[in-house]
């Protein structure tokens, strides 16, 4: 019984509704189509890639019949919680029917690298909205190396890597610098490979991670140059590879000179043995000057050491020369040695003029290979 009654009532209802809407035909509620977003460029050349710490170029064509109310950009990690949001609620894009959206969004330096989603949503004044989506790859900022210096122990940035002999010399390639990195530094590896494609080309990978201090960001490495490299001296490509925990890698490519020449470490030149005097590069007239250093001739052995002190004047400079070799009796006891802890005091004659002098210590080995260290020396009256 109930069912028949309902069947009877329904047509009545419908008839009422139909007649009601037809009454409103003269004054229709305007209909606006939903806004449109055409995302034309994400990243430079629509590469859909951006580097953390830089800005992201975005271009889109926006249309909204009911006029644009708001534009939202949301960038979020596909896996992870990092997100960047930006809303445009005033300015040239707002209150217009159609516009070209062009913005550069800052991507923070600490944005983790990886795959992100980008959503660009346009809202119209009727509350309708449309969203365009794109994938975006954020490349994290890799480690950065500053103030890199490399070379021999004393001079540090001369680019010379002295071949060492296990257990004998401190002969090394010294590397220093500062590393900044968003993510933790995972490894620092040095690669030396002999330039050119000659037979016997050597490649060495040396892990120096343990010589990087993560707390201070300072790299201070002394890398032993393998003894077998003495057979292949010359120019090597040097590559330092710094990798962080996110596998972002920074490479520094340079060159070093793997040397089998003599070399000097821990060199001192000064007026005496008191603190500071050892390296003050001052000599007092009528007294003696302190000269000290560890001299290495690992490959070819020592032949001679020559010291020259030359007055820094244009004409007729006063010169003081001293030779240490077999003839002068210096190598009487240690002839043919590979290294020498050289420590000598040279008398400065009372009649030598005071002023600026150029000091040089020249070491020659038995093959005639040489090493010279030049320094300024000041001669003063005591
Ligand atoms: Zn742009
Ligand atoms: Zn998404
Ligand atoms: Zn001394």
Choosing from 96, 118, 139, the residue where a domain stops is 139
Mark whether 239 and 272 lie in a shared domain. Answer: no
> What does the alpha-carbon distance between residue 323 and residue 301 come to, in Å, rounded to a whole number?
17
101 vs 227 pLDDT, higher one: 101
The arrangement of strands across the sheet holding 83-88 comes to 49-51, 129-139, 114-124, 68-77, 83-88
Confidence (pLDDT) at 9: 44
pLDDT tens per residue, range 259-274: 999 999 999 999 999 9
pLDDT tens per residue, range 174-201: 999 999 988 899 999 999 888 876 644 6
Asked if the model's pLDDT at residue 23 lies above 60, the reply is: no
Mark whether 150 and 117 lie in a shared domain. Answer: no
Q: Which domain holds residue 70?
A: 36-139
Looking up residue 111, the CATH number of its domain turns out to be 2.60.40.3880
Separation of 120 CA from ligand 2 center, angstroms?
Answer: 10
> What does the alpha-carbon distance between residue 221 and residue 69 come to, in Å, rounded to a whole number?
59
Q: Report CA 133 to chain centroid distance, whole Å.
A: 35
For residue 8, is it within any domain? no
Confidence (pLDDT) at 14: 45
Mark whether 310 and 229 lie in a shared domain. Answer: no
53 band by pLDDT with thresholds 50, 70 and 90: confident
What are the φ/ψ torsions at residue 242 (nearest 5 degrees)?
A: -110, 125
Confidence (pLDDT) at 20: 47
Phi/psi region, residue 277 (left: phi>0; alpha: psi -120 to 50; beta: rest), is alpha
Confidence (pLDDT) at 251: 92
Q: Among the bound ligands, name the one nearest to the CA of residue 43.
A: 1
Q: Among the bound ligands, name the one nearest to the CA of residue 134.
A: 2
Mark whether 234 and 300 lie in a shared domain. Answer: no
Confidence (pLDDT) at 374: 96
For residue 5, is it within any domain? no
Separation of 42 CA from ligand 1 center, angstroms?
Answer: 9
Separation of 47 CA from ligand 1 center, angstroms?
Answer: 12
For residue 2, is it within any domain? no
Q: Among the bound ligands, name the one nearest to the CA of residue 74.
A: 2
Looking up residue 359, the CATH number of its domain turns out to be 2.60.40.770
Looking up residue 196, the CATH number of its domain turns out to be 2.60.40.1930
Q: Among the bound ligands, name the one nearest to the CA of residue 105.
A: 1
29 vs 366 pLDDT, higher one: 366
Confidence (pLDDT) at 349: 97
Q: Among the bound ligands, name the one nearest to the CA of residue 287.
A: 3
CB-based contact 264:373 (threshold 8 Å): yes
Mark whether 126 and 168 lie in a shared domain. Answer: no
Confidence (pLDDT) at 335: 55
Mark whether 237 and 249 lie in a shared domain. Answer: yes
For residue 244, is it within any domain? yes
Mark whether 314 and 298 lie in a shared domain. Answer: yes
Q: What is the mean pLDDT of the chain?
A: 88
Separation of 133 CA from ligand 2 center, angstroms?
Answer: 7
Separation of 149 CA from ligand 3 center, angstroms?
Answer: 30
> What does the alpha-carbon distance between residue 225 and residue 206 come to, in Å, rounded to a whole number?
10
Cα-based angle 206, 363, 229 (whole degrees, multiple of 5): 25
> What does the alpha-carbon distance between residue 311 and residue 318 come to, in Å, rounded to a whole number?
5
Asked if the model's pLDDT at residue 232 lies above 90, the reply is: no
CB-based contact 275:329 (threshold 8 Å): no
Cα-based angle 52, 54, 60 (whole degrees, multiple of 5): 105
Separation of 99 CA from ligand 1 center, angstroms?
Answer: 15
Mark whether 250 and 307 lie in a shared domain. Answer: no
Asked if the model's pLDDT at residue 363 lies above 60, the reply is: yes
For residue 15, is it within any domain? no
Residue 29: Cβ-neighbour burial (10 angstroms; 0-12, 13-18, 19+): exposed
Provide DSSP, 115-153: EEEEEEEEEETTS-EEEEEEEEEEEPP--EEEEEEEEST
Range with the lowest mean pLDDT among 17-31, 78-92, 210-224?
17-31
Of the candidates 225, 345, 223, which has an alpha carbon nearest to the alpha carbon of residue 290?
345
pLDDT, mean of residues 73-100: 96
Q: Among the bound ligands, name the one nearest to the CA of residue 342.
A: 3
Share of the chain above pLDDT 90, in %: 66
Mark whether 196 and 297 lie in a shared domain. Answer: no
Choosing from 259, 282, 313, the residue where a domain stops is 259
Separation of 161 CA from ligand 1 center, angstroms?
Answer: 47
Choosing from 259, 290, 321, the residue where a domain stops is 259
Confidence (pLDDT) at 169: 58
Number of compact structural domains in the chain: 3
Mark whether 201 and 106 lie in a shared domain. Answer: no
Confidence (pLDDT) at 11: 46
Q: Among the bound ligands, name the one nearest to the CA of residue 117.
A: 2
For residue 26, is it within any domain? no
pLDDT tens per residue, range 147-181: 999 999 998 899 999 887 766 655 689 999 999 98
Separation of 131 CA from ligand 2 center, angstroms?
Answer: 11
Q: Among the bound ligands, name the one nearest to the CA of residue 116.
A: 2
Confidence (pLDDT) at 26: 57
Separation of 159 CA from ligand 1 center, angstroms?
Answer: 43
> What does the alpha-carbon distance between residue 371 and residue 369 come to, in Å, rounded to a whole number?
7
Global pTM value: 0.66
For residue 151, is it within any domain? yes
**Sequence-ordered list of residues with C-beta below 8 angstroms from that of 35, at least 6 positions apart, any chain:** 62, 63, 64, 65, 66, 68, 122, 123, 124, 128, 129, 130
Mark whether 120 and 105 lie in a shared domain. Answer: yes
Confidence (pLDDT) at 211: 96
Spell 77-114 as b/e; 16+ CB within 10 A means b: beeeeeebeeebeeeebbeeeebebebeeebeeebbbb
Q: Among the bound ligands, name the one nearest to the CA of residue 46.
A: 1
> What does the alpha-carbon distance between residue 113 and residue 312 come to, in Å, rounded to a whole number?
58
pLDDT, mean of residues 139-145: 87
Separation of 130 CA from ligand 2 center, angstroms?
Answer: 14
For residue 28, is it within any domain? no
> What does the alpha-carbon distance between residue 125 and residue 32 come to, in Å, rounded to a whole number?
10
Mark whether 324 and 245 lie in a shared domain. Answer: no
Separation of 124 CA from ligand 2 center, angstroms?
Answer: 21
The pair of structure tokens assigned to 175 is: 């590397």
Separation of 82 CA from ligand 3 center, angstroms?
Answer: 63
């Amino acid at each position: 019984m109930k069912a028949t009654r309902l069947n009877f009532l329904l047509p009545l209802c419908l008839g009422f509704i139909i007649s009601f809407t037809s009454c409103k035909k003269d004054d229709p509620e305007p209909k606006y189509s939903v806004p449109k977003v055409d995302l034309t460029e994400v990243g430079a050349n629509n590469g859909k890639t951006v580097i953390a710490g830089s800005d992201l170029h975005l271009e889109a064509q926006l249309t909204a019949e009911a006029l644009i109310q708001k534009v939202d950009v949301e960038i979020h990690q596909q896996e992870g919680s990092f997100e960047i949001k930006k809303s445009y609620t005033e300015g040239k894009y707002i209150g217009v029917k159609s516009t070209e959206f062009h913005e550069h969004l800052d991507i923070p330096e600490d944005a983790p690298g990886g795959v992100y989603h980008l959503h660009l949503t346009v809202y119209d004044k009727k509350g309708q909205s449309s969203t365009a989506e794109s994938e975006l790859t954020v490349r994290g900022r890799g480690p950065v190396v500053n103030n890199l210096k490399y070379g021999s122990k004393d001079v540090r940035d001369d680019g010379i890597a002295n071949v060492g002999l296990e257990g004998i010399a401190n002969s090394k390639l010294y590397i220093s610098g500062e590393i900044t990195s968003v993510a933790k530094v995972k490894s620092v590896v040095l690669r030396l490979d002999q330039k050119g494609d000659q037979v016997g080309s050597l490649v060495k990978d040396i892990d120096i991670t343990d010589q990087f201090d993560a707390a201070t960001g300072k790299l201070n490495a002394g890398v032993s140059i393998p003894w077998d490299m003495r057979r292949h001296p010359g120019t090597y490509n040097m590559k330092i590879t710094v990798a962080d925990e996110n596998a972002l890698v920074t490479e520094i490519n340079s060159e070093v000179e793997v040397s089998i020449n003599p070399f000097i470490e821990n060199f001192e030149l000064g007026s005496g043995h008191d603190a500071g005097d050892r390296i003050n590069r001052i000599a007092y007239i009528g007294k003696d000057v302190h000269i000290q250093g560890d001299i290495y001739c690992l490959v070819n052995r020592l032949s001679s050491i020559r010291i020259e002190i030359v007055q820094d004047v244009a004409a007729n400079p006063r010169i003081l020369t001293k030779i240490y070799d077999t003839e002068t009796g210096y190598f009487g006891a240690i002839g043919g040695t590979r290294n020498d802890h050289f420590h000598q005091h040279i008398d400065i004659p009372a009649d030598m003029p005071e002023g600026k002098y150029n000091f040089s210590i020249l070491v020659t080995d038995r093959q005639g290979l040489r090493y010279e260290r030049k320094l300024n020396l000041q001669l003063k009256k005591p």
